[in-house]
């Protein structure tokens, strides 16, 4: 079920009314939210509801077991079992064919065979997101940062439909305390919620879908048929597309959760204004960045074991982060690039050669360099898994070897959409705050009219149909 559809609008309207009616009865409310979230998830494929239910039961049992044990070695052993269960399920659905194909290719190159064959495996939507949330839950209990909650609370936390299929990755410490007491409808920030939903819808339906259908899909689908100018513009367009698509989804998710009375953490903070790759990851998919830092980088040793090990930990963390995004070498290369750039940036800062606190032309120069490093890595990310390395190489070559050819795909609409997607990130924070403040002061009839007009404009300006969000398949 996709957010910007009539089906979801009907579903959410029913859930919103029922949720507030049941809110004074917390246990009944939690059971209702779990049921509603299962219905939401079943719209994709009802069989995978059992996978979500297994994740809830498995991680709740592991978390309670870890909490009750007092012997450290036993607690660590049970945590290991829990992680093996979570990562084993994730690995089977997401990486089985990748590792089997890689094994076949490696052994075939030396004239040997591989004992396993590929299978037709359907990737469950959102499995990476709810698995990462489940892992954070049991690891926080192991670290004594969190106490296990009841099964219905954990079930509501893990399956809550606004974040279920594409994040943000909400920690137990961020959402579980909000489940302790009924939400107060008088405290709901409806103006912010409507603003986030409307802007998120515009980003997805108008900006992201437009760029995908008017230039990105065509160029990355057949790069040798396009000019160098079209290829450059397509790379910039994809940078804007993936930002508008993913941040648009999380804006809507945060807004929907707000209408239900719950607050999610921010997931994007103008990432294309970053002055370094480290700064970029402070602004891009922030909940994943913090998850990788706290549950991968720090357990690897972080920066506590000397400079060479720190650089290696950064590279390893981002390689795993790249693999999390997709079972293909293109994603590994994408993550490796970011890991390498993070390590180089840290090396420079340790020697006093770099400082993020720059102003004037130096700041803009670093922004431009950072943006182009990110865009170059996006080529591998967009190339995907099917002939991905070949596609990425064709795109890179086409950036330079076909200047002067006609470029019909570079239209004023494409250029405008790219400009809007990037320029909007440079708007002062006070502008949306002022808009939300004035919107909240307007009469209810005016608010409804403004929201309805915004929705109609988004529908009219966007392409026919709504493509699934990019991060649904990760």
pLDDT tens for 274-312 read 999 999 999 999 999 999 999 999 999 988 888 889 999
Cis peptide before 168 (omega within 30 of 0): yes
Mean pLDDT of 346-351: 83
pLDDT, the chain, mean? 90
Give the model's pLDDT for residue 105.
Answer: 76
Read off the pTM.
0.92
Percentage, residues of the chain above pLDDT 90: 65
Give the model's pLDDT for residue 241.
Answer: 96
Give the model's pLDDT for residue 310.
Answer: 92
φ, ψ for residue 402, nearest 5 deg? -145, 45
State the Cα–Cα distance between residues 250 and 230, nearest whole angstrom. Answer: 30
* Residues 234, 251, 373: CA angle, nearest 5 degrees: 35
The HSE-up count of residue 418 (CA atoms within 13 Å, CB side) is 19
Contact yes or no for 268/247 (Cβ under 8 A) = yes
Give the model's pLDDT for residue 352.
Answer: 75
Q: Render pLDDT for 373-392 as a digit per residue (tens, 0 to 9).
A: 999 999 999 997 778 899 99
State the Cα–Cα distance between residues 173 and 143, nearest whole angstrom. Answer: 13
Q: Residue 212 carries which DSSP code?
A: I
Mean pLDDT of 431-441: 78
Where helices occur in 144-189 by DSSP H, the ranges are 151-159, 161-164, 172-175
Q: Render pLDDT for 146-188 as a digit per residue (tens, 0 to 9).
A: 999 999 999 999 999 999 988 899 999 999 999 999 999 888 8
Query: Residue ranges of the domains in the chain?
Result: 6-182, 192-461
Q: Render pLDDT for 227-273 as a digit per residue (tens, 0 to 9).
A: 999 999 999 999 999 999 999 999 999 999 999 999 999 999 999 99
State the Cα–Cα distance between residues 206 and 188, nearest whole angstrom. Answer: 28
Contact yes or no for 155/6 (Cβ under 8 A) = no
- Predicted confidence band at 134 (pLDDT cuts at 50, 70, 90)? very high
What is the helix (H) or strand (E) element at residue 60, kind and residue range?
helix 49-68
How many angstroms separate the Cα of 290 from the Cα of each of 198, 284, 310? 27, 11, 17
Of 163, 285, 311, 325, the catalytic one is 325
Is 226 considered catalytic here?
A: no
């Amino acid at each position: 079920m996709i957010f910007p559809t009539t089906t979801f609008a009907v579903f959410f309207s029913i859930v919103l009314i029922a949720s507030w009616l049941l809110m004074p009865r917390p246990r009944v409310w939690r059971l209702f939210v779990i049921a509603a979230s299962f219905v939401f998830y079943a719209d994709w494929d009802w069989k995978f509801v059992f996978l979500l239910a297994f994740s809830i039961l498995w991680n709740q049992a592991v978390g309670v077991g870890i909490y009750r044990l007092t012997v450290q070695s036993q607690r660590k052993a049970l945590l290991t079992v829990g992680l093996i269960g979570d990562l084993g399920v994730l690995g089977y659905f997401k990486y089985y064919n990748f590792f089997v194909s890689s094994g076949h290719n490696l052994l075939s190159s030396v004239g040997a065979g591989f004992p396993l064959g590929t299978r037709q495996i359907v990737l469950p939507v959102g499995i990476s997101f709810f698995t990462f949330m489940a892992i954070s839950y049991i690891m926080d209990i192991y670290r004594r940062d969190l106490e296990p909650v009841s099964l219905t609370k954990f079930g509501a936390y893990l399956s809550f439909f606004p974040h279920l299929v594409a994040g943000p990755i909400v920690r137990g410490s961020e959402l579980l305390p909000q489940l302790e007491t009924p939400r107060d409808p008088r405290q709901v920030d409806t103006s912010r919620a409507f603003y986030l939903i409307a802007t998120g819808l515009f980003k997805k339906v108008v900006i992201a879908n437009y760029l995908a259908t008017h230039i990105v899909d065509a160029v990355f689908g057949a790069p040798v048929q396009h000019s160098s100018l079209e290829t450059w513009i397509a790379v910039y367009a994809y940078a804007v597309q993936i930002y508008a698509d993913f941040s648009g989804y999380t804006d809507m998710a945060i807004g929907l959760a707000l209408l239900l009375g719950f607050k999610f953490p921010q997931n994007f903070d103008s990432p294309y204004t970053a002055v370094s790759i480290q700064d970029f990851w402070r602004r891009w998919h922030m909940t994943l960045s913090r998850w990788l830092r706290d549950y991968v980088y720090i357990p690897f040793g972080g920066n506590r074991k000397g400079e060479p090990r720190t650089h290696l930990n950064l590279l390893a963390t981002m390689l795993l982060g790249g693999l999390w995004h997709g079972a293909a070498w293109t994603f590994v290369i994408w993550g490796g690039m970011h890991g390498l750039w993070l390590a180089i940036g840290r090396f420079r800062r340790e020697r006093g050669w770099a400082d993020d606190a720059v102003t004037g032309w130096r700041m803009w120069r670093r922004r431009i360099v950072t943006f182009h490093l990110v865009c170059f890595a996006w080529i591998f990310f967009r190339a995907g898994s099917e002939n991905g390395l070949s596609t990425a190489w064709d795109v890179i070559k086409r950036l330079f070897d076909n200047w002067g050819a006609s470029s019909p795909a570079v239209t004023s609409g494409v250029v405008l959409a790219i400009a809007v997607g990037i320029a909007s990130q440079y708007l002062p924070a006070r502008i949306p705050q002022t808009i939300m403040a004035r919107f909240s002061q307007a009469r209810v009839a005016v608010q409804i009219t403004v929201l309805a007009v915004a929705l109609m404009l988004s529908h009219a300006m966007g392409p026919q149909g709504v493509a699934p969000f990019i991060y649904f398949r990760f």
